[in-house]
Chain A
Amino acid sequence: MSVTDRSRLSLMFRRVLLLLLLVLAGGLAYAVLSLPDQAVGLSDRVRASMETSGVSNPVTAVLLNFRGYDTLLEMAVLLVALLGVWSLGAAAAHRTVDPESVLLSLVGVLVPMMLLMAGYLLWVGAAAPGGAFQAGSVLAAAGILLLLTCKRPPVRLLGWPLRLVLVLGLGAFVAVGVTLMSANGAFLQYPNSLAGGLILFIEAAATLSIGVTLAALFLGGWPDLDV
């Protein structure tokens, strides 16, 4: 294929791409313009059943109670993503760069504060913006800071303890669901009196799992025990 042929082909490809993008943009514009002025959302129904949810933050009520299934599947997706990364091979060899003292002292201040912040976000999620994913990502950020300063967890924790923490969130979620199903026949249908406690329990387990999973994703590849 000569050079001119190739450039003509790429020009045609670009034109087709432009056409497709214009169709997509037109479709999106039509969808936005055809939205009703007064959207009939589900917020009234959520507000009406807030008392049975066990929490006072509507977002947490939807994520952990009314649509608990979605959050359960999100946890599963996160775990599958990590399995995908681990299937690529072992993590790159330990980089032995001596971190600067400024970074080290900053980490010494930041990491405890981030742990506190994660705990606060987890707890406050019941009543105000916050929750397991936000708390988990703050936890993961602390983990990434530690990894960047070449602080690795001891090898004995990288075997089954690490894997246990990784599946803890999903496991707790499924365990609660199955227990409730055997008690009252419906998966993840919390009884009113226990809802708040069960949501906090699931969120605490999920926070740990999310934090460790995201930090493990940053490491890239499964931790090599021999290194």
Chain B
Amino acid sequence: METMTVLQWLLDGMLVLALLWLAWRALSSPDLFTAIVLFVAFGLMMALAWVRLQAPDIALAEAAIGAGLTGALLLAALARSNDLADRINDDQTVGTEKK
């Protein structure tokens, strides 16, 4: 029993540290792709934290929506914004050539 509580404290402590570290890295990462991957990892860790807080319903929603779908949506948004940036750059180079 005693070892179980120590193990649980260790697990919870590591979860909290991992969450804080992932959150900081995701916010401070200059590369958006890295930030999205870190955000997905954060979502999965958060799902584990919800399980530890005995909220399996929220854990399921967090893993599926918070980590999975939001990550996919963010990646899609990143791809589209990159496309847009490329198109604007192309337009600008075409504009300067005409001059």
Contacts and interface: CB of A to CB of B under 8 A. Distances in A.
Interface of A: 57, 59, 92, 121, 129-131, 133-134, 137-138, 140-141, 144, 214, 217-218, 220
Contacts, number: 40
Contacts of A141: 64, 68-69, 72
Contacts of B14: none
B83 A129 contact: no
B16 interface: no
Contacts of A92: 80, 83
B80 A129 contact: no
Nearest to B68: A141
A140 B69 contact: yes
B57 A131 contact: yes
Given A92-B83, A144-B72, A138 B57 contact: no
Contacts of A140: 69
A137 B80 contact: no
Contacts of A129: 56-57, 59-60
B74 to A, nearest CB: 10
14 contacts: A92-B83, A129-B56, A134-B61, A137-B64, A137-B65, A137-B68, A141-B64, A141-B72, A144-B69, A217-B73, A218-B69, A218-B76, A220-B77, A220-B80
